[in-house]
Amino acid sequence: MLPTWMTIALPLVALYIAFLVWYGGNGKPMTADEINAGLRELLATDSSEHARAAVEDIRQLLATDDGKEFVMQNLVRYRPKALYPPGYHYGDDPREADQRYGKSIVWPLLRNGNLLLFIARRSGNFFVPEGADDWHYVAMVRYRSRRDFLKFAFEANQSDKFIHKWAAIEKTHVFPVKPIVSLISVRMTLGLLLLSLGLILNTTLT
């Protein structure tokens, strides 16, 4: 019979290993053929002018693929009123439209190993250079890889999730970043939580 501490530790270690496999972040870069095939598949779900422009932006993103995880920085400005295409019967509050989009993408993000790290609403001004955009909020999303970003975009496009995003947003500036210094470590945070849980269970059961 296994000692109590090992009975507790083995499932927690297995859970952490499973998380590390899902969370990934260190894969192989996409090949040129893979990129072209993925973009064609994405465009097949929406051939509008806006979609074609977005595909070209995604092509630039994929061209710098190194196979590793990255964080996408999102700066967002709302429309005065939400602007849905004909046939969509929603209210004209852009924040409500953006909330619909946010709620709809939680599962597609998680399913592809991606995670919302940070979101913050603008609370004032400090240094505003001439011509600067008036952003309403900033969000940071961690993607397991550019390949997984493309998978997420394809799934979201198939189910019309981006309709809510573009109805809400007047302007956005989105670009990938690589953390240099960060206090946000999902791997370490989960590891410490599981370790703490293991110690609590071991103390309680022995």
| Total domain count, the chain | 1
Q: How far apart are CA 76 and CA 66, in angstroms?
A: 27
- Per-residue pLDDT band for 180 (boundaries 50, 70, 90) equals confident
Domain with residue 143: its CATH number is: 3.30.70.100
Amino acid at 4: T
Could you report the per-residue pLDDT of 105-160, keeping only the tens digit for each?
Answer: 999 999 889 999 999 999 998 988 888 899 999 999 999 999 999 999 888 887 77
Residues in Cβ contact with 9 at an 8 Å cutoff, skipping those fewer than 6 apart: 198
pLDDT in the model for residue 44: 83
pLDDT for 199 beyond 90: yes
Percent of the chain whose predicted confidence (pLDDT) is above 70 = 99
Taking residues 178-199, what's their average pLDDT? Answer: 91
Provide the 8-state DSSP code for 93.
-
pLDDT in the model for residue 146: 95
Model pTM score = 0.87
> In sequence order, which ranges of 125-179 are alpha helices (DSSP H)?
146-158, 162-168
Could you report the per-residue pLDDT of 8-55, keeping only the tens digit for each?
Answer: 999 999 999 999 999 999 999 999 999 999 999 888 877 667 777 788
Residue numbers of the domain that contains 180: 4-205
Taking residues 191-196, what's their average pLDDT? Answer: 96
Four-point Cα dihedral 153, 156, 157, 159, nearest 10: 160
Amino acid at 51: A
Q: Whose CA is closest to 109, among 59, 74, 60, 65? A: 74
Q: Whose CA is closest to 36, among 10, 17, 11, 55? A: 55
Could you report the per-residue pLDDT of 64-81, keeping only the tens digit for each?
Answer: 999 999 999 999 999 999
